[in-house]
């Protein structure tokens, strides 16, 4: 079990080197972002996956995609990709999207071509523009973008990447470099694990975070540097792990929901073009929208955003980089306005990415939970009949999000209670499939869970 090239050891030390382990070699060592304390706290666990052949420093999209999926299958919450190239890869994008669906977010280095063609997209990091990964660039000791750091589309944040003190092998690298266990190194490869380590801290603090939640949290808690506001060269600004953790303290509520579009507004007719997915067809655009009430348990200062997994709409505009899920989520007062786009081919009626009846928008609401929670004072949750076969009717707080969970804690269906305080569950999951017979739980924020029994 050895680093045959000399890159992975320096990268992993940034995010997971153990703290308080005393003097090592001729140094006091280094503290990783999510490393353990050298005592009872082991910190985040590391799964090392080799993607390069032998002692080379290159790989292919197939191997990289396999590694991302292997990390997700092993239960990793984040995968660090300090690797970049100039070519697009639908395979890499779909692998990262599948990993998101399994609870694993990819954190990618922006690339080191800033001095020449800094805005040239580097992949897979550039897919952060589609929400399927997080892109991290490098900054220097002053907090400004390092001159070598690329800033192609989708840059989320920058993090330290110049002269980073980190771990090194106790034997020479493939290139013959030799250091006594630690070294100062530079590059966006060293910046990315600051982001990955922060994702590890967030996932440990709030395991229910998922999908684009991590990307949005890193963006919204970053310290603004460079041009005011979001800008192409520094993204949302300098990564702030402390602010990100403060944003998910126990007083913050998290609601994951999925809503079906209810209104479809015809837009322009043009040629839909997606080169990566080989789509070039004349089509009619339709804006798919739905409005969802914000539960009474949330303050009106909550954040809201769309999630890739579970969303079945595309961006507006006929020139798309790829057919990746996208939606807009806007919070106005106590209402969530959700919108996305569908395209219908004028020749044969084919819908992209799916027909209107499949237009779903997944979203997250996160924010302070009101101390005087009306849901907590609500009558106990009731279901009738219970046990049930075909379906059951629930008595729950009006407008509340209603999650149906299986015994493993997996969310099988999300409902929204009507104004009269009722919701019906037909025994089907979010995809419309009948769930197996067994025990299920109804969860509403602020109320004890209700146990349901479904019979065959």
Query: How do strand 133-139 and strand 105-109 relate by DSSP bridges?
Result: parallel
Query: 24 in helix, strand or coil?
Result: strand
User: Residue 415 in contact with residue 427, Cβ under 8 Å?
Assistant: no
Distance of CA 111 to the CA centre of its chain: 20
Residue whose pair of structure tokens reads 């395209």 in the numeric block: 343
Write the CA distances from 304 to 256, 331, 400, integer angstroms: 10, 7, 16
DSSP letter for each residue of 61-115: HHHHHHHHHHHHHTT-SEEEE---BSS--HHHHHHHHHHHHTT-EEEEE--S-HH
Of the candidates 424, 421, 405, the residue with the CA atom closest to the CA atom of residue 413? 405
Side-chain half-sphere exposure of 233, counting CA atoms within 13 A:
15
Query: What pairing do the DSSP bridges indicate for beta strands 450-454 and 133-139?
Result: unpaired
Tell me the pairing of strands 182-185 and 351-352. Answer: unpaired
Q: Is the dihedral of CA 384, 385, 386, 390 positive or negative?
A: negative
**Are the C-beta atoms of residues 112 and 304 closer than 8 Å to each other?**
no
Tell me which H or E stretch contains 196. helix 188-205
Whole-number Å distance between alpha carbons of 70 and 32: 24
Whole-number pLDDT of residue 299 = 77
Which of 314, 436, 295 shows the shortest CA–CA distance to 369? 295
pLDDT of residue 26: 67
The Cα 78–Cα 217 span in angstroms is 15
In the numeric block, the tokens 């993204």 are attached to: 235
Q: How far apart are CA 199 and CA 202, in angstroms?
A: 5
Residue 392 backbone phi and psi in degrees, to 5:
-145, 155
Tally DSSP H helices, then E strands, for the chain.
Answer: 7, 21
User: Quick one: which of 441, 443, 439 has its CA closest to 453?
Assistant: 439
Residue 25 pLDDT: 66
- Residues recorded for the chain: 456
378 with 447: CB under 8 angstroms? yes
Partners of 266 in beta bridges: 286
Q: Other C-beta atoms within 10 Å of 266: how many? A: 10
pLDDT in 10s for each residue of the chain, 456 residues:
678 888 999 999 999 998 887 777 667 788 999 998 877 788 899 999 999 988 888 899 999 999 999 999 999 999 999 999 988 999 999 999 999 999 999 999 999 998 888 789 999 999 999 999 999 999 999 999 999 999 978 999 999 999 999 999 988 888 888 888 899 999 999 999 999 999 999 999 999 999 999 999 999 999 999 888 889 999 999 999 999 999 999 889 899 999 999 999 999 999 999 988 899 999 999 999 999 998 888 877 789 999 999 999 999 999 999 999 999 999 988 899 999 999 999 999 999 999 999 999 999 999 888 754 444 444 578 888 888 888 999 888 877 788 898 877 788 999 888 877 788 999 999 888 899 988 898 988 777 788 888 887
CA distances from 289 to 235, 262, 341 (A): 28, 6, 9
Strands 351-352 and 360-368: unpaired
Q: In the prediction, which pLDDT does 384 show?
A: 86
């Amino acid at each position: 079990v050895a680093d045959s090239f000399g890159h992975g050891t320096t990268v992993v030390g940034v995010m997971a080197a153990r703290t308080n382990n005393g003097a090592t070699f001729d140094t006091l060592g280094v503290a990783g972002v999510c490393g353990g304390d050298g005592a009872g706290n082991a910190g985040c666990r590391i799964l090392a996956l080799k993607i390069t052949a032998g002692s080379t420093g290159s790989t292919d999209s197939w191997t990289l995609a396999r590694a991302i999926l292997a990390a997700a299958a092993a239960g990793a919450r984040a995968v660090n990709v300090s690797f970049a190239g100039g070519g697009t890869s639908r395979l890499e994008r779909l692998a990262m999207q599948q990993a998101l669906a399994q609870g694993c977010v990819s954190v990618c280095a922006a690339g080191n071509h800033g001095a020449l063609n800094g805005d040239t997209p580097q992949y897979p990091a550039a897919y952060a523009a589609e929400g399927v990964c997080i892109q991290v660039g490098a900054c220097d000791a002053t907090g400004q973008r390092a001159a070598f750091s690329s800033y192609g589309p989708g840059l989320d944040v920058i993090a330290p990447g110049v002269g980073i003190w980190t771990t090194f092998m106790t034997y020479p690298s493939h290139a013959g470099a030799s250091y006594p266990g630690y070294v100062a190194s530079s590059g966006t490869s060293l910046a990315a694990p600051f982001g990955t380590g922060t994702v590890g801290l967030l996932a440990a603090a709030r395991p229910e975070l998922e999908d684009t939640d991590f990307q949005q949290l890193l963006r919204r808690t970053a310290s603004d540097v460079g041009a005011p506001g979001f800008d192409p060269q520094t993204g949302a600004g300098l990564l702030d792990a402390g602010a990100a953790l403060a944003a998910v303290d126990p007083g913050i509520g998290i609601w994951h929901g999925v809503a079906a579009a209810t209104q479809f507004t015809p837009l322009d007719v043009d040629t839909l073009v997606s080169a990566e997915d080989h789509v070039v067809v004349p089509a009619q655009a339709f804006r798919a929208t739905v409005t969802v009430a914000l539960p009474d348990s949330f303050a009106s200062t909550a954040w809201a955003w769309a999630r890739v997994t579970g969303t079945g709409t595309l961006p507006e505009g006929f020139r798309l980089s790829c057919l990746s899920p996208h939606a807009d989520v806007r919070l106005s007062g106590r209402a969530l306005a959700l919108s996305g786009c569908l395209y219908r081919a004028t020749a044969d009626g084919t819908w992209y990415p799916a027909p209107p009846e499949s237009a779903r928008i997944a979203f997250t609401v996160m924010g302070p939970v009101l101390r005087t929670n009306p849901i907590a004072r609500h009558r106990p949750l009731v279901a009738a009949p219970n046990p049930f076969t075909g379906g059951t009717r629930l008595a729950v707080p009006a407008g509340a999000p209603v999650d149906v969970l299986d015994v493993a804690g997996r969310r099988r269906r999300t409902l929204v209670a009507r104004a009269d305080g009722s919701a019906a569950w037909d025994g089907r999951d979010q995809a419309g499939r009948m769930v197996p017979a067994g025990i299920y739980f109804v969860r509403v924020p602020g109320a004890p869970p209700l146990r349901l029994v479904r019979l065959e």
